[in-house]
């Protein structure tokens, strides 16, 4: 018994050491980026230690308030939040329909939806650019370099993933609850709003988190389909690389700032993450 308890204790200590090591490996690039953002150009190329007691705030203030990067952050917030709201609403409706209504070819429709997420984004780049810049441009109405243009494009990739995730969650909700609600006179919209959404809230939260992060981090389409007005912070970081050199301090500072909204959103929905990932995984 003592040897078994000792082995169990040693195993737990080993696992703690492994997790601590993995955590340090994961966080070290962020810490290194913070060190770069906190130093001036002179300190950056002269001081090579891993400690920093002061912060060179000009790396944060100049591009964010005196440059265009503040607007880039706002654009990213608008696009990511707008896309998340649209994706969640459409995904809940589509997942409910695929889960509850047994139509002919329903499984084929579901599989076709997932294949849109499997396709490489680069395959859509040229057709979408031509559509946005020429075909869909009618007078003052255009989608190129607009927030709504990026929001709609991101739906092509985020919506299939959200439907796939929410369908499994809604499948885990008993249909008897729907039948009981219909007996009480509830409509389909009432069932979704009063039964499906509350019970699937953990899954909806994790879906919203993943959709928001995907939209926030997206680079390829934001670079191709925007120029000035709707440019996002992920594409703006490239502007620090010029023909005369790279402004490492300001680039690292803006990268740190671009992490903060995602971390804040993660903190707000963290209590739903575990429940959302495991909801509906076990059925009786």
Q: What is the pLDDT of residues 142-186, one digit of tens each?
A: 788 889 989 999 998 899 889 988 888 888 888 888 888 888 888
- Alpha carbons 276 and 118: distance in angstroms, whole number: 23
**Which is it for the CA torsion 111, 117, 118, 124, positive or negative?**
positive
pTM: 0.83
Average pLDDT over residues 120-129: 84
Q: Looking at domain 66-278, which of 1.10.645.10, 3.30.930.10, 1.10.150.240, 1.10.3720.10 is its CATH number?
A: 1.10.3720.10
- Alpha carbons 17 and 14: distance in angstroms, whole number: 5
SS3 270: helix
Average pLDDT over residues 111-135: 80
Angle at 229 between CA 224 and CA 230, to 5 degrees: 55
The pLDDT, as a whole number, for residue 136 is 64
Helix orientation angle between 69-100 and 147-171, rounded to the nearest 10 degrees: 40
Phi, psi of 175 (to 5 degrees): -70, -15
pLDDT digits (tens, 9 = 90+) for 21-59: 999 998 898 888 888 888 888 888 776 677 777 788 888
- Alpha carbons 55 and 252: distance in angstroms, whole number: 13
Quick check: 92 pLDDT over 90?
yes
Phi, psi of 97 (to 5 degrees): -65, -45
Residue corresponding to tokens 């009618």: 138
| % of the chain with per-residue pLDDT over 90 | 17
First to last CA, the chain: 36
SS3 246: strand
- Residue 283: pLDDT band (50, 70, 90) is very low
Q: Domain residue spans in the chain?
A: 1-56, 66-278
Do residues 145 and 226 touch, judged by C-beta distance below 8 A?
A: yes
Radius of gyration of the chain (CA): 24
The pLDDT, as a whole number, for residue 284 is 42
Average pLDDT over residues 64-71: 83
- Alpha carbons 169 and 180: distance in angstroms, whole number: 20
Q: What residues contact residue 275 under an 8 Å CB cut-off, 6+ apart? A: 202
The pLDDT, as a whole number, for residue 281 is 47
Between the alpha carbon of residue 59 and those of residues 40, 50, 69, 253, 262, the distances in Å are 8, 19, 12, 6, 21
Phi, psi of 141 (to 5 degrees): -90, 115
Q: What residues contact residue 2 under an 8 Å CB cut-off, 6+ apart? A: none
The pLDDT, as a whole number, for residue 81 is 93
Per 3-state DSSP, the chain is made up of helix, strand and coil in percentages (nearest 5) of 75, 0, 20
pLDDT digits (tens, 9 = 90+) for 101-116: 877 766 777 777 777 7
Specify the DSSP class assigned to residue 50: S
pLDDT digits (tens, 9 = 90+) for 207-237: 898 899 999 999 989 998 988 888 999 988 8
Tell which residue, 113, 48, 54, 67, has the closest CA to residue 254. 67
């Amino acid at each position: 018994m003592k040897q078994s308890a000792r082995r169990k204790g040693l195993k737990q200590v080993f696992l703690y050491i492994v997790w601590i090591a993995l955590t340090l490996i994961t966080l070290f690039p962020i810490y290194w980026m913070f060190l770069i953002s906190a130093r001036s150009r002179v300190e950056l190329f002269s001081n090579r230690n891993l400690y920093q007691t002061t912060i060179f705030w000009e790396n944060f203030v100049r591009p964010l308030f005196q440059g265009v990067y503040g607007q880039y952050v706002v654009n990213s917030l608008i696009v990511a939040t707008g896309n998340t709201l649209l994706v969640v609403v459409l995904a809940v409706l589509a997942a409910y329909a695929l889960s509850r209504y047994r139509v002919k070819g329903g499984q084929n429709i579901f599989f076709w939806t997932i294949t849109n997420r499997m396709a490489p984004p680069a395959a859509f780049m040229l057709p979408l650019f031509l559509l946005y810049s020429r075909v869909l441009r009618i007078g003052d109405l255009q989608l190129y370099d607009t927030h709504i243009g990026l929001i709609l494009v991101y739906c092509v990739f985020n919506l299939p993933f959200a439907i796939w995730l929410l369908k499994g969650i809604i499948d885990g909700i008993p249909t008897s609850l729907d039948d009981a609600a219909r007996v009480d006179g509830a409509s389909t919209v009432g069932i979704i709003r009063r039964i499906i959404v509350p019970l699937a809230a953990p899954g909806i939260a994790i879906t919203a988190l993943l959709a928001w992060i995907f939209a926030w981090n997206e680079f390829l389409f934001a670079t191709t389909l925007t120029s000035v007005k709707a440019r996002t912070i992920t594409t703006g970081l490239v502007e620090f690389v010029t023909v005369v050199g790279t402004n490492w301090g300001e680039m690292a500072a803006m990268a740190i700032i671009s992490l903060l909204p995602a971390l804040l959103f993660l903190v707000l929905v963290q209590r739903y993450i575990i429940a959302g990932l495991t909801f509906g995984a076990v059925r009786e």
